[in-house]
Amino acid sequence: MEQFAALVERHPDNEMFRFSLAQALVAADRAAEAVPHFEFCIAKKSDWMMARILLGKLLLPLGRRAEAKPLFESALQLAIAQHHEDPERELRALLADLG
């Protein structure tokens, strides 16, 4: 994780380094710290479906369901447009659970 943190510090506008740092933070049970990095990724690349899915999944246990739902909805549209069937099924299930 320190490697990715150092890369982000040196290259704060690089969305790939931020994505890698976010994933490392999640793996280290520091999910709340990953949120702004996933948000950065989404802001930088509006069609990044996986960053939206991962951010939405992080927000659920943080009690931020209202913020997760539009992320899942937009990710679903991206999954359909990009022909990603497995994420589409997963997103439909997540949205059904959210009501």
The model's pLDDT over 23-40, given as tens digits with 9 standing for 90+, comes to: 999 999 999 999 999 999
**DSSP for residue 61:** T
Residue positions counted in the chain: 99
Nearest to 41 by CA among 13, 69, 66, 65: 13
Nearest to 31 by CA among 54, 8, 50: 54
Determine contact, residues 59/71, Cβ cutoff 8 Å: yes
The domain spans of the chain are: 2-98
**What does the block give as tokens for 91?**
């997103």
pLDDT score for 99: 83
Q: How confident is the model at residue 1 (pLDDT cuts 50, 70, 90)?
A: confident
Q: How confident is the model at residue 64 (pLDDT cuts 50, 70, 90)?
A: very high
DSSP reduced 3-state for 31? helix
- CB-based contacts of 56, cutoff 8 Å, min separation 6: 68, 69, 71, 72, 75, 94
pLDDT score for 81: 97
Residue type present at position 14 = N
pLDDT score for 30: 95
CATH class of the domain comprising 2-98 = mainly alpha
pLDDT score for 16: 97
pLDDT score for 26: 95
* pTM score above 0.85: yes
Q: How confident is the model at residue 86 (pLDDT cuts 50, 70, 90)?
A: very high
